[in-house]
Amino acid sequence: MSHLMNTYNRQPVAFTHGEGVWMFDENGKRYLDALSGIAVNTLGHGHPRLVAAVSAQVGRLMHTSNVYRVREQEALSDKLTALAQMDDVFFCNSGCEANEAAIKLARMYGHQQGIDSPAIIVMEQAFHGRTLATLSATGNRKVQAGFEPLVSGFVRVPFDDLAAIEAVANNNPNVVAILFEVIQGEGGINICHNEFLQGLRKLCDAKNWLFMLDEVQSGIGRTGKWFAHQHAGVKPDVMTLAKGLGSGVPIGACLTAGRAFGVFKPGNHGSTFGGNPLACCAALTTLDVIEADKLIANATRQGENIRAGLQAALAGVSGIVDIRGEGLMIGVQLDRPCGDLVKQAIDAGLLINVTAESVIRLLPALTFSDADSKQLVDGLAALIKKFLGV
């Protein structure tokens, strides 16, 4: 027995080390990692360049304070704003904190426009985190239940439904922003149409709303672009990042552009750890390796390999509702709850996830090779067939 607070249903396995896309447990058994710590280990495990850079940074300087200039943070802000074509960035330590910053920024933006009770439009099935404001923005009652009263000021609409948002626009003068995931991760790998993103961008411009994208899971090359919204050719006013940014070292970011730029002034927001030299070194190295090793093109390629492979292997199998995704953010929806598959996969040496009850979620490292993808497809297809009894 341990003294951990009982907040997770944990699988009965503990890992001792990792090597590339493989992880090893306490008995020396090896597992193909198709989850990457939920989209965190962008470069797999023990990437030599990341290990060298982070180790050197640990020896040089881990933490100073945001009351001083932090050169690593300045360099990372230059890099991220160039990649996103945005203006500036606030660093924190996690996805919920990045969204918390975006929510606070939207409220302050509203107050600066003379709106005393600003509201933010959010989506059904959304996931934005587990702090009070972000769980209130989340569209999942299981995340919220027991924590009422929720933070007010959120208006919920169906995902990928522009008409529903236009109706809110006509009826609610307090709306100042819209916050959503381009591809819903926890919600079951739900993808919105490019026309939805483009139409919403126009609506936000017409209404003076902030167009805020939660790319905590979909960002950093995972979908075959640096950021998932780039598939639709739109630009956000606010974008949040975290998971894959530091390849395992905690870091989150909230970027702004256009109307959202310059909203916060000194004293409005802060973080003790946010953007410390260690975290920024890990993020800078992650971005460098993604570029040097052409991992974004690889995410597209392996995503196609895996989806096409699963489609071929599972063709005609009844019980498969859909195989979908963008790049290495992949969902396989079954016609029944399939949480038990996670343990069956572990027994078979494969690390996957199930979300929204019936969607198998794959989030492999961007370093997956053709052979790794084939191994994943073969292993997973066999498990799914066995699970469905075919």
Ligand X SMILES: *Cc1c(COP(=O)(O)O)cnc(C)c1O
Peptide bond between residue 149 and the one before it cis (omega within 30 degrees of 0):
yes
Closest CB to ligand X among residues 219, 309:
219
Closest CB to ligand X among residues 140, 198:
140
Shortest distance in whole angstroms from residue 235 CB to ligand X: 19
Residues that bind ligand X (CB under 6 A): 94-96, 99, 127-129, 181, 185-186, 214, 216-217, 242-243
172 burial (CB, 10 Å; 0-12 / 13-18 / 19+) is exposed
Looking at residue 93, the DSSP 8-state letter turns out to be S
Specify the pairing of strand 15-19 against strand 154-157.
unpaired
b/e code 289-326 from CB counts within 10 Å (16+ = b): bbeeeebbebbbbbbebbbebbeeebeeeeebeebbbb
Shortest distance in whole angstroms from residue 252 CB to ligand X: 6
Closest CB to ligand X among residues 111, 130:
130
Closest CB to ligand X among residues 96, 350:
96
Measured distance CA(140)–CA(124) in Å, rounded? 7
Closest CB to ligand X among residues 314, 356:
356
Closest CB to ligand X among residues 128, 231:
128
For every residue of 202-246, which 3-state class applies, written as one string? HHHHHHCCEEEEECCCCCCCCCCCCCHHHHHCCCCCEEEECHHHH
Measured distance CA(258)–CA(85) in Å, rounded? 11
Shortest distance in whole angstroms from residue 104 CB to ligand X: 15
Q: What are the tokens at 371?
A: 């052979």
Shortest distance in whole angstroms from residue 131 CB to ligand X: 8
Shortest distance in whole angstroms from residue 94 CB to ligand X: 3
Q: Which residue has the tokens 């297809």?
A: 381
Residue nearest to ligand X (CB): 95
Distances (CA, A) of 329 to 25, 101, 188, 258, 259: 25, 25, 10, 29, 30
Shortest distance in whole angstroms from residue 242 CB to ligand X: 5
Distances (CA, A) of 107 to 93, 114, 153, 210: 21, 11, 9, 10
CB 228 within 8 A of CB 326: yes
Closest CB to ligand X among residues 134, 305:
134
Shortest distance in whole angstroms from residue 318 CB to ligand X: 31
Shortest distance in whole angstroms from residue 60 CB to ligand X: 26
Closest CB to ligand X among residues 143, 263:
143
For every residue of 350-373, DSSP letters joined together read EE-EEETTTEEEE---TT--HHHH
Closest CB to ligand X among residues 64, 131:
131
Closest CB to ligand X among residues 228, 320:
228
Shortest distance in whole angstroms from residue 128 CB to ligand X: 5
b/e code 178-204 from CB counts within 10 Å (16+ = b): bbbbbbbbbbbbbbbeeebbebbbebb
Shortest distance in whole angstroms from residue 184 CB to ligand X: 7
Residue type, 192: C
